[in-house]
């Protein structure tokens, strides 16, 4: 019996050591096994197997046209796969390089850029917005000096909820929209109240452009997309419509899913909702968000992004089906959801028929991203269902160790 215990403990320890110490500079994705990239039997195999079955059943039940899913454990991409169709009228399959719009998941990706620039002392979290946008006064005037970069990223600028989001959809330029913001009276002093924004969040574009003497797009490519080898990622409407491997957005009309045109909305507010990416890009980014690309962004900076800044309502109430939410906040570009024993960094997004969901579990070193080209309940439940499956299998593994222990 003791021999069996020793063998089991050695096996589990060896697996955990392999996961912990395997940290290549860039995740190597073997295209031949990209649809089932778990190379050998591990305690995570059962999790991935059950979750893949869940995805297939959920997509079939909801009729969602197409989706792509990535799961990262520690520094390894353990699952990467496309499901369904890019366009229901053409029958072309989603693969791991199919490009989707990220919608509001653009916010945590953009916050990654801000974090890198802070780490490089190009920006500082407490920089005043007016330092980079001269003449950007707010009302009341005494709040102008109080408005800082960290308030922009933590959705605590003090502007009324969703101020001028309609102007984004009207196709106004960012410069025009920021000029309009100057006419709006704040509902609270910056840093005091959560109030979700898209236009105000895109202040980051102007701040980054001024600080780096480049465009926001150039800075993102130089500091995030390039170093993390996010080869399919981009920030423009022209880029996404020029690609062939793109997930066409769909809406459910007349009892069936129908493809709709890709819209140019929100590319005028790129930090808030204008990033395009494949699930492969997102997997590489999530490895960094778990702290395994310290040459690009340090774990200390990532911890700042996940740190709660202002109380906020939990956006995805379906997490209660996994574990009861105790409190929720907004950090820097992330929703921060606190459970009884755990904290989760999360964001979701919707634009133009695309749905996006991402969650990072810092203590368990797990991350998951789900992209879909049709808004359905599949996206609502995909993340909570994964964590429920993961916890079930990990508890079973620990229980089995406990049973045979002396």
Question: pLDDT 10s digit of each residue in the chain, 406 long?
Answer: 433 333 333 333 333 333 333 333 333 333 333 333 434 456 789 999 999 999 999 999 999 999 999 999 999 999 999 999 999 999 999 999 999 999 999 999 999 999 999 999 999 999 999 999 998 999 999 999 999 999 999 999 999 999 999 999 999 999 999 999 998 999 999 999 999 999 999 999 999 999 999 999 999 999 999 999 999 999 999 999 999 999 999 999 999 999 999 999 999 999 999 999 999 999 999 999 999 999 999 999 999 999 999 999 887 888 888 888 999 999 999 999 999 888 999 999 999 999 999 999 999 999 999 999 999 999 999 999 999 999 999 887 776 554 444 5
DSSP secondary structure, 109-164, as one string: HHHHHHHHHHHTTSS-TT-BGGGTSTT---BSGGGTTT-BHHHHHTT-S-PPTTTT
Spatial neighbors of 45 by CB under 8 A, at least 6 apart, are 38
Looking at CATH, the fold of the domain delimited by 2-404 is given as: Beta-lactamase (3.40.710)
Q: What are the residue boundaries of the structural domains of the chain, listed by start?
A: 2-404
CA neighbor of 41 nearest in space, from 70, 9, 14: 14
State the pTM of this model: 0.88
CA distance 58 to 181: 42
């Amino acid at each position: 019996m003791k021999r069996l215990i020793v063998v089991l403990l050695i096996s589990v320890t060896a697996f955990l050591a392999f996961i912990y110490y395997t940290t290549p500079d860039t995740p190597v994705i073997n295209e031949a096994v990209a649809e089932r990239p778990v190379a050998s039997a591990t305690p995570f195999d059962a999790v991935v197997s059950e979750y893949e079955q869940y995805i297939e059943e959920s997509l079939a039940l909801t009729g969602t046209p197409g989706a792509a899913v990535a799961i990262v454990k520690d520094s390894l991409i353990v699952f990467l796969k496309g499901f369904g169709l890019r366009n229901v009228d053409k029958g072309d399959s989603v693969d791991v390089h199919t490009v989707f719009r990220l919608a509001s998941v653009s916010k945590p990706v953009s916050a990654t850029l801000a974090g890198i620039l802070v780490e490089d002392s190009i920006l500082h979290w407490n920089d005043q917005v007016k330092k980079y946008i001269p003449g950007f006064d707010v009302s009341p005037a005494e709040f102008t000096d109080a408005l800082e970069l960290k308030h922009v990223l933590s959705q605590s600028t003090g502007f009324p909820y969703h101020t001028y989001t309609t102007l984004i959809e009207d196709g106004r330029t960012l410069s025009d929209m920021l000029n309009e913001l100057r006419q709006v009276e704040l509902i609270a002093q910056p840093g005091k109240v959560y109030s979700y924004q898209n236009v105000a969040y895109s202040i980051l574009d102007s701040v980054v452009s001024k600080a780096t003497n480049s465009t926001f797009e150039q800075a993102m490519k130089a500091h995030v997309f390039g170093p993390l080898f996010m080869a399919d990622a981009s920030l423009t409407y022209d880029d996404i419509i020029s690609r062939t491997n793109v997930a066409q957005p769909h809406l459910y009309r007349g009892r069936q899913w129908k493809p709709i045109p890709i819209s140019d909305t929100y590319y005028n507010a790129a930090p808030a909702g204008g990033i395009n990416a494949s699930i492969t890009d997102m997997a590489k980014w999530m490895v960094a968000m778990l702290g395994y690309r310290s040459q690009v962004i340090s774990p200390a900076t990532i911890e700042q992004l996940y740190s709660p800044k202002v109380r906020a309502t939990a956006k995805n109430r379906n997490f209660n089906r996994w574990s009861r939410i105790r409190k929720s906040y907004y950090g820097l570009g992330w929703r921060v959801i606190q459970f009884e024993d755990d904290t989760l960094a999360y964001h979701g997004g919707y634009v133009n028929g695309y749905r996006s969901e991402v969650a990072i579990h810092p203590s368990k070193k797990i991350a998951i991203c789900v992209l879909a080209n049709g808004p359905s309940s599949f996206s609502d439940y995909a993340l909570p269902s994964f964590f429920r499956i993961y916890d079930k299998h990990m508890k079973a593994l620990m229980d089995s160790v406990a049973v045979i222990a002396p």
